């Protein structure tokens, strides 16, 4: 197979990135919306894909398509090599000790369901407690509600401060010997808040609990070292980090993965099948039943190669700079911004309410100006209720966004205000 190449290296532009060169790798960014150039500010929902990712996925499908870990023919061996090569790439990107600690899934939703079912239903009993936060995405709430209902465990929440940070003043009473798992987002998709993961990991381990992380927003935007953070489990989503949809996975410490039961049963995850029972392969393979999204994980590896070419420290620096500029412009324009106002402790998903314009109406008007934002509760209804709003508008930034696009957003807000006034 051809080696993937990344055309963009670090350069002295915004946050250490040559954003102009980056944008040329993303064909969709040349589209227009009517007479307006597309301003895509919805990367927290899904990121756009560079040519390198599109080509890697297509090249696999055109020339190497077969089922991984099945046939011993040439294409089968090439597919297996590409699939397992992608696993090794992900492990390196996350600082995992070995590829076998990476389970491939379709993304964080599947990963957190695997944790809640495979670990939670195996280890939790009545009287045990699960600790999460009020800023979680529904994918890290609903699976735990379902598991609590089955096991009799109790779900508890770390509250939020008025400025969108975790209120850790109550951690001592919330995290006790009854706590068996702490499951938290690494970066809020609604507030942008970055979670102090190492602090929570140390606190969880001190009472004998493990910690699981929803890194759907954190992994695309910041360097991660799972060993330095000492997290036990960490889910990530490929389509939010330049990769294809249906790509992603779950990192887990080896002993934690081996203690978990599979969520799905079927082909390839078994060791032996008898009339009354089956035995399973070791992790990660016991969690990968059936035909996996092979081409998508190959595309994810290409996305990681691309991000590595940019340098994740540069990616983070770019996000801080763009977010800082956006916060200043939005606040000056009269928007109410939810979440921290300090760009150094938050990500680039900026939720806001503008004047008296409902977010859905605002998003409709902005779309007519070529500006794509998200409007709604962002699958974070607990956070919305905490701040007394049914929904917010959300602009979210990534490596291809510019300050000119922030200016376009603010200009479109002025246009919306003129319409609704």
Q: Is residue 125 part of a domain?
A: yes
- Answer yes or no: do 283 and 190 share one domain: yes
- Answer yes or no: do 36 and 162 share one domain: no
Domain with 78, as residue range(s), is 56-308
- Distance from chain centroid for Cα 361: 27
Catalytic residues, by residue number, are: 379
pLDDT tops 90 at residue 34: yes
How far apart (Å, rounded) are the C-alpha atoms in residues 101 and 299?
A: 20
Q: Is residue 9 part of a domain?
A: no
pLDDT tops 50 at residue 202: yes
Beta-strand (E) ranges in 110-158? Answer: 129-133, 154-158
pLDDT tops 70 at residue 14: no
The tokens 């009799």 sit on which residue?
152
pLDDT of 421 reads 80
Which residue, 371, 373, 409, 417, is CA-closest to 393? 373
pLDDT tops 90 at residue 36: yes
- Answer yes or no: do 41 and 96 share one domain: no
- Answer yes or no: do 119 and 190 share one domain: yes
DSSP string, 14-32: BTTB-HHHHHTT-GGGG-E
pLDDT digits (tens, 9 = 90+) for 146-155: 999 999 999 9
- Tell me the mean pLDDT in the region 68-95: 97
- Tell me the mean pLDDT in the region 192-216: 98
pLDDT digits (tens, 9 = 90+) for 343-394: 999 999 999 999 999 999 999 999 999 999 999 999 999 999 999 999 999 9
Domain end among 308, 341, 373: 308
- Tell me the mean pLDDT in the region 268-272: 96
- Answer yes or no: do 240 and 283 share one domain: yes
- Collapsed DSSP state (helix, strand, coil) of residue 241: coil
Q: What's the predicted TM-score (pTM) here? A: 0.96
pLDDT of 4 reads 35
Residue 51 φ then ψ, to 5°: -55, -35
pLDDT of 215 reads 99
How far apart (Å, rounded) are the C-alpha atoms in residues 306 and 25?
A: 10
398 band by pLDDT with thresholds 50, 70 and 90:
very high
Beta-strand (E) ranges in 223-274? Answer: 233-237, 248-252, 270-273
> With left for phi above 0 and alpha for psi between -120 and 50, is residue 366 left, alpha or beta?
alpha
- Tell me the mean pLDDT in the region 219-236: 98
- Answer yes or no: do 291 and 270 share one domain: yes
pLDDT tops 90 at residue 8: no
Domain count, the chain: 2
CATH number of the domain at 181, please.
3.40.640.10
- Considering only CA atoms, give the Rg of the chain: 22
Q: Is residue 14 part of a domain?
A: no
How far apart (Å, rounded) are the C-alpha atoms in residues 221 and 229?
A: 16
- Answer yes or no: do 82 and 205 share one domain: yes
| Sign of the dihedral defined by the CA atoms of residues 189, 109, 380, 199, in that order | negative
Asked if residue 185 lies in contact with residue 134, where contact means CB atoms within 8 angstroms, the answer is no
- Answer yes or no: do 340 and 267 share one domain: no
- Answer yes or no: do 199 and 282 share one domain: yes
Asked if residue 241 lies in contact with residue 87, where contact means CB atoms within 8 angstroms, the answer is no
Torsion angle of alpha carbons 60, 257, 44, 303, nearest 10°?
-30
Domain end among 284, 308, 332: 308
**Angle, to 10 degrees, between the axis of helix 312-332 and the axis of helix 403-420?**
30
Q: Is residue 10 part of a domain?
A: no
- Answer yes or no: do 240 and 355 share one domain: no
Q: Is residue 321 part of a domain?
A: yes
Encoded tokens for 29: 């960014």
How far apart (Å, rounded) are the C-alpha atoms in residues 15 and 93?
A: 21
How far apart (Å, rounded) are the C-alpha atoms in residues 392 and 374?
A: 8
How far apart (Å, rounded) are the C-alpha atoms in residues 256 and 209?
A: 12
pLDDT tops 80 at residue 7: no
Encoded tokens for 323: 């977010």
Q: Is residue 7 part of a domain?
A: no
Q: Is residue 6 part of a domain?
A: no
13 band by pLDDT with thresholds 50, 70 and 90:
low
The number of beta carbons lying within 10 Å of the beta carbon of residue 200 is 24
CATH number of the domain at 33, please.
3.90.1150.10
- Answer yes or no: do 233 and 329 share one domain: no
Asked if residue 22 lies in contact with residue 8, where contact means CB atoms within 8 angstroms, the answer is yes
- Answer yes or no: do 324 and 374 share one domain: yes
Asked if residue 200 lies in contact with residue 158, where contact means CB atoms within 8 angstroms, the answer is no
Domain end among 308, 334, 367: 308
Q: Is residue 5 part of a domain?
A: no
Encoded tokens for 344: 């150094």
């Amino acid at each position: 197979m051809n080696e993937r190449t990344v055309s963009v290296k670090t350069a002295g532009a915004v946050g250490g990135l040559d954003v102009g060169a980056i944008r040329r790798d993303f064909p969709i960014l040349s589209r227009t919306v009517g007479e307006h150039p597309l301003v895509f500010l919805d990367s927290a929902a899904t990121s756009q894909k560079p040519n390198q990712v599109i080509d890697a996925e297509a090249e696999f499908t055109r020339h190497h398509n077969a089922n991984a870990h099945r046939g011993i023919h040439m294409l089968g061996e090439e597919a297996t090599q590409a699939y397992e090569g992608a696993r090794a790439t992900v492990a390196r990107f996350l600082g995992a000790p070995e590829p076998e600690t990476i389970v491939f899934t379709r993304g964080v939703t599947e990963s957190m369901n695997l944790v809640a079912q495979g670990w939670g239903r195996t280890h939790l009993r009545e009287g045990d407690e699960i600790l999460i936060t009020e800023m979680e995405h529904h994918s890290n709430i609903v699976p735990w509600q379902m598991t609590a209902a089955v096991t009799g465990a109790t779900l508890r929440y770390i509250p939020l401060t008025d400025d969108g940070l975790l209120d850790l003043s109550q951690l001592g009473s919330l995290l006790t010997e009854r706590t068996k798992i702490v499951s938290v987002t690494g970066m809020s998709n609604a507030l942008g808040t970055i979670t102090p993961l190492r602090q929570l990991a140390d606190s969880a381990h001190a009472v004998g609990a493990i910690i699981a992380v929803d890194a759907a927003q954190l992994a695309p935007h910041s360097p991660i070292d799972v060993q330095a953070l000492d997290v036990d489990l960490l889910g990530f989503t490929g389509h939010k980090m330049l990769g294809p949809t249906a790509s992603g996975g779950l990192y887990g410490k080896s002993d934690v993965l081996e203690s978990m039961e599979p969520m799905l049963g079927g082909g390839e995850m078994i060791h032996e099948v008898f009339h009354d029972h089956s035995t399973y392969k070791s992790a990660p393979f016991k969690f990968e039943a059936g035909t996996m999204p092979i081409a998508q994980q190959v595309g994810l590896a290409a996305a990681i190669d691309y991000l590595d070419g940019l340098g994740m420290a540069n990616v983070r620096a770019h996000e801080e700079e763009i977010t800082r500029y956006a916060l200043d412009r939005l606040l000056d324009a009269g928007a109410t911004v939810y979440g921290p106002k300090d760009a150094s402790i938050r990500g680039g998903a900026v939720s806001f309410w503008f004047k008296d314009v409902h977010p859905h109406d605002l998003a409709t008007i902005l779309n007519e100006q070529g500006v794509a934002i998200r409007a709604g509760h962002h699958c974070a209804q607990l956070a919305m209720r905490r701040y007394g709003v049914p929904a917010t508008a959300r602009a979210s930034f990534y490596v291809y966004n510019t300050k000119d696009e922030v200016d376009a957003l603010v200009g479109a807000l002025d246009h919306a205000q003129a319409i609704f006034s």
